[in-house]
Amino acid sequence: MENQLKNAVVAAVEQLYGSAPDQSQITLQKTKKEFVGDWTLVTFPLLKLSRKNPAQTAQEIGDYLKENVSIVADINVINGFLNIVLKQGSWLDTLGKMDADANYGLVPVTENSPLVMIEYSSPNTNKPLHLGHIRNNLLGYSLAEIMKANGYKVIKTNIVNDRGIHICKSMLAWQKFGAGATPESVGKKGDHLVGDYYVAFDKAYKEEIKALMADGMSEDDAKKNAPLMLEAQEMLRKWEAGDAEVRALWQTMNQWVYDGFDETYKRMGVDFDKIYYESDTYLVGKEKVNEGLAKGLFFTKEDGSVWADMTDQGLDQKLLLRADGTSVYMTQDIGTASLRFQDYPINKMIYVVGNEQNYHFQVLSILLDRLGFEWGKDLVHFSYGMVELPEGKMKSREGTVVDADDLMDEMIGTATEISKELGKLDGMSQEEINAICTTIGLGSLKYFILKVDPRKNMTFNPKESIDFNGNTGSFIQYTYARIQSVLRKAAELGEVALGDVSLNEKEVALISTLASFPEVVKQAGKEYSPSLIANYTYDLVKEYNQFYHDYSILKEENEAVRAMRIVLSRNVAKVIKQAMALLGIGVPDKM
RNA sequence: GGUCCUGUAGUUCAAUGGAUAGAAUACGAGUUUCCUAAACUUUAGAUCCGGGUUCGAUUCCCGGCGGGACUACCA
């Protein structure tokens, strides 16, 4: 509809003023509520072509449209804004078409669709997931769904940082203080158990530092020479050397963590098509760097360390291999990229990683490009801001981290309480109650996080953010459930078909909002922005609730109008469900 | 110091360079014999400061001021 109008305006301008306008000169937007009309053309950019004042230009173009375009019913001009009223029939057509399309708003994926790989989550294996990971996971999953909806093949991937000094710390602490504890023996999720020992290490380590400093050692020296740290480093060396005992423990404890993560992922509703482990990729990275070195892309310093010179790009020199030949973060990412490239014909790579790593990805992009990866140059770092608490940043050492599992428990718990208070759960089985309250609790959490522009830092107030009224996930879910209830009753009346009826203002507004869904999906894909989908859905739902409040659906006496309202309602529900699916949020049939 | 991100009602968030800057919350005032009141209606409240470009700037550019991140042989 929008395109049809756009083309008509181009034709009008060409007819009237002799030359065709540029696409960028045509500003067509939805008419604001205060004015009469459906679409508004801003005429200012066209004045150069018309050589007339705004009002005149608008009037002339408007007259032409009214005369020559079948879907235009009427026009009015205010201050150089040309408001266009569309014919009722065209709205009914639009509604009919979307009603017939089960995949409304989605671009089908074909064999020739480009392949985009999305990396997200990427946890360390020494502690459980927290609120920051939740934002990452939700964004990554949603982005994948949005890209699919835009006709891309999508591979979701995860790089697990399973090796290094951090996991050795947990292992060491477990050996020393664990007394053989396992997730089963203490009845705790594996990731939490391993995280406990990471904390235990840190605590004991700090005490050692304090003691050494009391004996007169400087802080830096104390940190380096604390026995626990030396032991952890020794353990890492043994790991690198393939020491059987260390490797066995490493495998056991990592497996505990994976089992714990799996549970959390599953509950959160996110998944991966392919998981990479740093322990498998860091050696490939070393190889790649050495190849690059042989090709003269990198250089060696006197101590034997390998560097990339990025000064021609306005960046610094970047270390790729330490003097002892061991790898760093960048080396690993090069290796992972290399493996991925071998495994899949990647056209586009998106990394969902926090904005504190902007520099890293700037460098990685240049390095991959130099090493000959086709997608290296325009890899996308989907960079998102941090989640802060009202009192500031989360700090694991200070115990202010909001744990992912706890938070989900809390959300579901609150949803259950509120549902009970409202008497919504009467007569339901326990199973049904659990399913519904989980959907609601998680839906609110997800929506809360995804509705915010990803680039921005956001504040999460555990007390206040758990809200189920207003611009929230449950508001949207509630509306969906309400429509389902209407549709269930409508089904008893039999099949409905769209006839020729006249539409009221709210109905037109609703169809108009529904009609823009495909455009919103496209936009969200172009800008990598789940928040666009979230905010669109909220607008749609708010509009529907007003309509629902003002007009009856099933009790409407005019049969044709009733049928139209039922069709309208089921399409609102369809779009809500689809849009929420793009965010990874489920919708209940009742609540 | 340098690079990047960011600054909108008390608070949490919106606004392809377009009309009187939208919502939600919290605060006032209302709506249930009627399809689910987790809803709806309504009062009040905001673009950090100074320049520039433009018919028009919350948006783009420059300069301040405030917040954050990065600038590790940690990942």
How many C-beta neighbours within 10 Å does residue A356 have?
10
Measure A520 CA to B72 C1' (Å): 42
Q: Extract the tokens encoding A174.
A: 């477990």
Residue A25 pLDDT: 87
Residue A397 has pLDDT above 70, yes or no: no
Q: CA A439 to CA A591: how far, in whole Å?
A: 10
CB of A126 lies under 7 Å from some atom of strand B:
no
Task: Establish whether the CB of A542 is closer than 7 Å to any nucleic acid atom in strand B.
Answer: yes
Q: What's the pLDDT score for residue A396?
A: 67
pLDDT value at position A462? 73
Number of H helices, E strands in chain A: 21, 14
N- to C-terminal Cα separation, chain A: 36
With CA of A359 and C1' of each nucleotide, the nearest comes out as B70
The pLDDT assigned to A311 comes to 84
pLDDT, mean of residues A290-295 = 93
Q: A398 pLDDT exceeds 70?
A: no
Nearest residue, CA→C1' of B69: A356
Per-residue pLDDT, A325:
86
Q: Is the pLDDT of residue A373 over 90?
A: no
* Number of Cα atoms under 13 Å in the Cβ half of residue A267: 22
> Is the CB of A331 less than 7 A from some atom of nucleic acid strand B?
no
**Joined tokens for residue A341:** 């490239």
Q: How confident is the model at residue A246 (pLDDT cuts 50, 70, 90)?
A: very high
Look at residues A384, A341, A374 and name the one whose alpha carbon lies nearest to residue A155: A341
Q: In sequence order, which residues have a C-beta less than 8 Å from that of residue A337 and are 6 or more positions away?
A: A349, A364, A368, A373, A376
According to the model, what pLDDT value does residue A112 have? Answer: 95
Task: Give the residue from A231, A213, A234 showing the smallest Cα distance to A222.
Answer: A213
Q: Which of A407, A425, A354 is nearest to A383 (CA)?
A: A354
Q: Is A47 exposed, middle or buried (0-12, 13-18, 19+ CB in 10 A)?
A: middle
Contacts 24+ apart (CB under 8 A), A358-364: A358/A383, A359/A315, A360/A329, A360/A330, A360/A333, A362/A315, A363/A308, A363/A310, A363/A315, A363/A318, A363/A330, A364/A330, A364/A333, A364/A334, A364/A337
- Work out the average pLDDT over A28-49: 92
Q: pLDDT tens digits, residue range A470-507?
A: 999 999 999 999 999 999 999 988 877 888 899 999 99
Residue A384 Cβ < 7 Å to strand B: no
pTM: 0.95
Q: How confident is the model at residue A220 (pLDDT cuts 50, 70, 90)?
A: confident
Distance CA A225 to C1' B46 in A: 55
| pLDDT at position A558 over 70 | yes
pLDDT digits (tens, 9 = 90+) for A299-349: 999 899 999 998 888 788 899 998 888 888 999 999 999 999 999 999 999
Nucleotide whose C1' lies closest to the alpha carbon of residue A475: B38
Q: Nucleotides on strand B with an atom closer than 7 A to protein CB?
A: 4-7, 11-20, 23-26, 34-41, 55-56, 67-75
pLDDT at A367 over 90: yes
Residue A163, CA: closest nucleotide via C1'? B75
The answer to whether A458 CB sits below 7 Å from nucleic acid chain B is yes
Instruction: Tell me how far apart the alpha carbons of residues A367 and A292 are, in angstroms, rounded to a whole number.
Output: 10
Cα–Cα nearest to A137, from A505, A515, A405: A405
Residue A224: what pLDDT?
Answer: 85
Rounded average pLDDT over A270-293: 94
Q: Is the pLDDT of residue A57 over 70?
A: yes
Residue found under tokens 């809500």: A576
For strand B, is any atom closer than 7 Å to the CB of A356?
yes
List of A residues 231-260 with CB within 7 A of strand B = none
The answer to whether the beta carbons of residues A76 and A36 sit under 8 Å apart is: yes
Please tell me whether any atom of strand B lies within 7 Å of the Cβ of A560: no
Helix (H, G, I), strand (E, B) or coil at A502: coil
DSSP code for A347: S
Whole-number Å distance between alpha carbons of A174 and A196: 9
The pLDDT of residue A376: 86
Interatomic separation, CA of residue A411 and C1' of nucleotide B11, rounded (Å): 21
Going by pLDDT thresholds of 50, 70 and 90, the confidence category of residue A445 is very high
pLDDT in tens, A121-176: 999 999 999 999 999 999 999 999 999 999 999 999 999 999 988 999 999 999 99
**Alpha-carbon span A429 to A105, nearest angstrom:** 35
Average of per-residue pLDDT values in chain A: 92
The residue-averaged pLDDT of A550-560 equals: 93
pLDDT (tens digit per residue) in A29-38: 999 988 999 9
Helix (H) or strand (E) holding A140: helix A131-149
Q: Which of residues 517-536 of A touch strand B (CB under 7 A)?
A: 531-532, 535
Q: Are A120 and A133 in contact (CB under 8 A)?
A: no
Mind listing the pLDDT tens digit for each residue in A276-286?
A: 999 999 999 99
- The arithmetic mean of pLDDT across residues A235-245, rounded, is 92
- Spell out which residues of A between 279 and 318 contact strand B, using CB within 7 Å: 301, 303, 305, 316
